Amino acid sequence: MPAAPLPGGAGEGASGPSPGPSVPRDVIEIRLPSRADFLGAVRSVVRGVLEECLQVRVPEEDVQRIQIALQEACINVVRHAHRGDPGKPLVVRIVARPDLLVLEVEDLGPGLPAPADRPPDPDPANPREGGYGLFILRETMDEVRSARRDGRHVLTLVKRLGGAPATPAPGPGGPA
């Protein structure tokens, strides 16, 4: 299945808009079984992209926060969307530009719960076990969007790099 359009024209066909010369059209796509023991490889690829493939230096703290967000998104797919079924594929797409990182996590699950059904944000006075995933994503990334695409759920995580302006990144889905 071809990758969906991502910011900067990545994944668009020949008839789509042509990105400027500084905007990469490359999309890294990782397909793996829904198993927690495979997620270290995804974290390593994202770290490699951030450290080796950009023309800007991403601070170590940002690299770690992005890895945590991606780990949380992927482990939620394994546990909740796919309910531990390793036969269901987990797909991660990465698009990195000097000013923007877009991560897409695709699964076969129903998507995020409705806002009314989500756990409340953490309360330090009343700690609980579990239910922090979406809060971590919203606190770590600049945008978190959830959408259905071709019968699949796609969670899009956007992080602006190097002081990029806070304008929404192009792409489908509403806020999560």
pLDDT value of position 18 = 40
In the predicted model, what is the mean pLDDT of residues 92-117?
A: 92
Q: What's the whole-model pTM score?
A: 0.77
pLDDT value of position 20 = 43
pLDDT value of position 16 = 36
Q: Compute how many other C-beta atoms are within 10 angstroms of the C-beta atom of residue 171.
A: 18
Q: pLDDT band at 67, cuts 50/70/90?
A: very high
The residue ranking higher by pLDDT, 74 or 127, is 74
Helical packing angle, 60-76 and 39-52, nearest 10°: 150
Domains parsed from the chain with CATH numbers: 34-120+129-175 (3.30.565.10)
